[in-house]
Chains A and B, each alone.
Chain A
Amino acid sequence: MARAVRTASQLDTGLLVACGILAAVALIMPTWMQDAVATAIRRTVLAPLVSVQQQAEVVRATIVSRDSVQRVGAASTGLALSAPELANENDQLRQLIGLGARLGRGFVAADVLQLGTFDQAFTLTVSAGSNAGVERGTPVVTADGLVGIIQSVDPTFSIAITWAHPDFGVSAMSVDGSAFGIVKPHLGAGAQRWLLELRGVPFRSALEVGALVVSSGLGQGYPRGIPIGTVISEVQTTEKWVRTYILKPAVLPNTPGPVLLMIPSRSPKDVNGVWTNLASADSAARSIVLAGDSMVARKAALDEIAARRAMLDSTGRDSLSRADSVGLSGRFDTTRRTVPRDTTKRPARGDTTTRPKPPTGPPPPFENQPPTFAWR
């Protein structure tokens, strides 16, 4: 009897030691191996549970939105529309629509899911995976700027690291292209943990407080021109030949809301001008609103088209008479070809009619830039 108890006790201890060692190995094994194990578990045992949780998230979203609808019904329409939460959500969605229209192609819209047990500031789970074309290394952005990059892809969802993750890094530059460096998270204590650092800026390239820093497009990870943050201050370091700046991030990682995933193989390599500065995102949203509800703008655009046609017809008649005089009657078509259909329609687009000119010019082309930085 005593022997049986002793054997059982030894078995318990053995199981504890074995599980403890395996857990410790899981903690210290290389990231790629951790990813492989985690992916295998997610795609087999956890797949149905994750699917159920996604449905639950949808139900929660429905419940939350139903509450919102009820509030709107209870209050007057004007008050409801001015409710801060609703206005913020509208702003976010308008900005995303504006961003999507500006990006044109190569992006997938996704929601941020809370699949983990713990509060996650360093990683995000987004509701789009390889079925939607998402691949490892896909940048995650919002209308405000860069959120992070996809680290692990499953068929129906993906896991991204945010800019706060210690492994995050992006090659960056000032909007005018005068300063280049690497942006990494600022590993300070307390609230300073949620700031970024622009490192390795040549000493001759000074940046002013408030200067916008965007991705430089060097390397393979991020297209050129995604806002990362704005300069808050310069940090004094022991490296006297380079400057280091503290940045205020463009997007806070805990509540980014809906996001866009920029598929590297399909999205443009240069998105400069899509975000050029933070104000332009707002202006994009405003222009969408204007384009959406302004019949006046549409009428003005149609009037302008009619006026141009009338002018071009008269020009065409003059050209025809001149061409006939020298025996080149075919040139009449050439005159007409200078008025392509989409060109005449362009003024009807809201985002081009009221877009303010960016305060700074676009960055210079890729020539004369520092060596390539590859995202790890």
Chain B
Amino acid sequence: MAVRSQPSGLAVSAQAIIGFVLLLLAHYTVRPLLGGRAQVDFLAIAVLFSAVRLRPGGAALMGFLIGLTIDALQPDSFGAATLALTLVGYTASWLKAVFFADHVALTGLFVFAGKWVYDGVYNLAGPRIGGFDLLLQMLLWTPLAAALTALVAVLLLTVFRPLYRPYTK
């Protein structure tokens, strides 16, 4: 019976860091090239993929730090992305502890839900939009962006499997 060998802890950490840095760079290099109103959120993918590997507290802290960098470029809604990604990071990590399957479709759903919740919290806490605009944002643009983000996450998980596959015990 063939036994799948598990990489060492150091190798797993190195892969996670490389994967995270690549997503961070992609957010600032690839995303501007794509354009469009519904955009891929590589930072959300980075937070969600990392949250799966971290404890909930660490995931919350990472979401907080990534959120701060997003807010620094949007001072109009300073703090909103920080709060949203803190909650999303913690919840994603906690959900991973409850249930997580190494399944591509489920990962896509996981990213879709994470991005939608992130945008929802951000829109409610941050930008001063309301009424019909908020409804349009939440029911049209946010799901589109979330779907696009989930699609890219699934693609990344398939193509760069060693970097983004979560090693759970």
Contacts and interface: CB of A to CB of B under 8 A. Distances in A.
Interface string B57-86: 110110110011111111111111111001
A307 interface: no
Contacts of A45: 69
Interface in B30-70: 30-33, 35, 37, 39, 41, 43, 55-58, 60-61, 63-64, 67-70
B64 A116 contact: no
Interface stretch (B1-9, B102-110, B125-133): B125-133
Given A12-B55, A46-B69, A20 B87 contact: yes
Interface of A: 8, 11-16, 19-20, 22-29, 34-35, 37-39, 41-42, 45-46, 49-50, 52-53, 55-57, 59-60, 63, 114-120, 122-123, 125, 151-152, 159, 161, 165-166, 189-190, 193
B79 A46 contact: no
B70 A117 contact: yes
B28 A52 contact: yes
Given A12-B57, A14-B57, A19-B63, A159 B75 contact: yes
A16 B78 contact: no
Nearest to A17: B60
B100 interface: no
A27 B127 CA distance: 11
A41 B69 contact: yes
Nearest to B83: A23
A15 B58 contact: yes
A164 to B, nearest CB: 10
A159 B76 CA distance: 10
Contact of A12 (B60, B82, B130): B60
Contacts of B35: 60
B133 A190 contact: yes
A119 B37 contact: yes
A25 B128 CA distance: 18
Contact of A123 (B32, B63, B72, B75): B75
Given A16-B90, A23-B67, A151 B75 contact: yes
Q: Chain A binding site: helix, strand, loop or mixed by DSSP? A: helix
Given A19-B60, A28-B79, A117-B81, 10 more contacts: A12-B55, A13-B57, A16-B56, A19-B82, A20-B87, A27-B79, A27-B82, A56-B29, A56-B32, A116-B74
A95 B74 CA distance: 30
A147 to B, nearest CB: 15
26 contacts: A12-B56, A15-B57, A15-B58, A19-B60, A19-B63, A19-B82, A20-B83, A23-B79, A26-B82, A34-B79, A38-B71, A38-B73, A41-B68, A49-B28, A53-B29, A60-B35, A117-B39, A117-B41, A117-B70, A117-B73, A118-B127, A122-B128, A123-B75, A189-B131, A193-B129, A193-B133
B127 A23 contact: no
A50 B58 CA distance: 26
Nearest to B86: A19
B76 A123 contact: yes
Interface of B: 24-25, 28-33, 35, 37, 39, 41, 43, 55-58, 60-61, 63-64, 67-83, 86-87, 90, 119, 122, 125-133, 141
What does DSSP make chain B's interface, helix, strand, loop or mixed?
helix
B79 A26 contact: yes
Contacts of A63: 33
A119 B141 contact: yes
A38 B72 contact: yes
B36 to A, nearest CB: 10
Contacts of A190: 131-133
A27 B64 contact: no
A41 B79 CA distance: 13
B69 A122 contact: no
Contacts of A56: 28-33
Contact of B57 (A16, A120, A166): A16
A20 B86 contact: yes
A25 B39 CA distance: 29
A190 B41 CA distance: 26
Contacts of B69: 41, 45-46, 49
Given A24-B83, A56-B28, A189-B132, A161 B76 contact: yes
Contacts of B81: 117
